[in-house]
Amino acid sequence: MCNYNSVFIKKTKKIILREKEKALIDLERKMQNGFEYKNWPIIKAKGDDDWQLEMGHWEFVPYWIKSIESLKESRKKFNTLNATSERLLESKMFREAALNRRCLILSSGFYEWRHYQPEGAKKAITYPYYITLGTEKELPLMMMAGIYQPTVDFSTGEIIDSFSIVTTEANSLMTQIHNTKKRMPTLLTMDLAEEWINKDLSESRIKAIASFQMESSVLNAWNISKDFRTSTNPLEKCHYDELPDLLPFHHG
């Protein structure tokens, strides 16, 4: 769930959070596989009324991990690229971060698969989609809810922030696309994004925001090539004759 992401940022782009307007950075990632365990842009609170953009390590590294060897072993048991909203505050791994270290993950759109069994096929076939707030020509930034945990970069000894994307139950559109697990990243409005990184949130409010579902009507989704992971243009639209349209929220 939400293991493939994209982001397109120009340094002329500005964001206002906590009444502070700041320019961003030049960054283009057409498609990043979370299982590469590389860095990604996140926004954290800075003090009581400010914020900062930094590159975090996409993979929540629990505090008890003390070496690259133990991290590799942990990866065999847990996928911490995502954190389930319903269990954030019940999890030994995520609770403290959910209470005290919430962040925003910047995204221009993410990739997901739909399972569909065409007539005559022996089993369901997976068809990839790109999901965004924009279009092929214009991809505005989205804010995903996240949590982070300071950890050590075992290759350099540097202290970095590792993070996980919070996921929630799928809305009507994503129920049709991610139709096996029926999950989606917790996409936030700007008001909720600002509230999410505020210091003092009650547990009930954390649960409510973590489980927020962006309305289907504001999202756009289209089919892409099955080899998008190796394509020079992974966002390019692709049509499959055998695949029914998404209804009623297909913007195609």
Each residue's pLDDT tens digit, 184-232 = 999 999 999 999 999 989 999 999 999 999 999 999 999 999 999 999 9
Closest to 197 measured CA to CA, from 85, 98, 106: 98
Q: Where are the domains of the chain?
A: 4-230
Q: How confident is the model at residue 10 (pLDDT cuts 50, 70, 90)?
A: confident
Each residue's pLDDT tens digit, 137-185 = 889 999 999 999 999 988 888 999 999 999 999 999 999 999 999 999 9
For residues 75 and 98, the answer to whether their CB atoms sit within 8 Å is: no
For residues 29 and 225, the answer to whether their CB atoms sit within 8 Å is: no
pTM reported for the whole predicted model = 0.95
Averaged pLDDT of the chain: 94
Q: Regarding the domain delimited by 4-230, which CATH topology (the fold level of the hierarchy) does it fall under?
A: hypothetical protein yedk fold (3.90.1680)
Element (H, E) at 20: strand 20-23
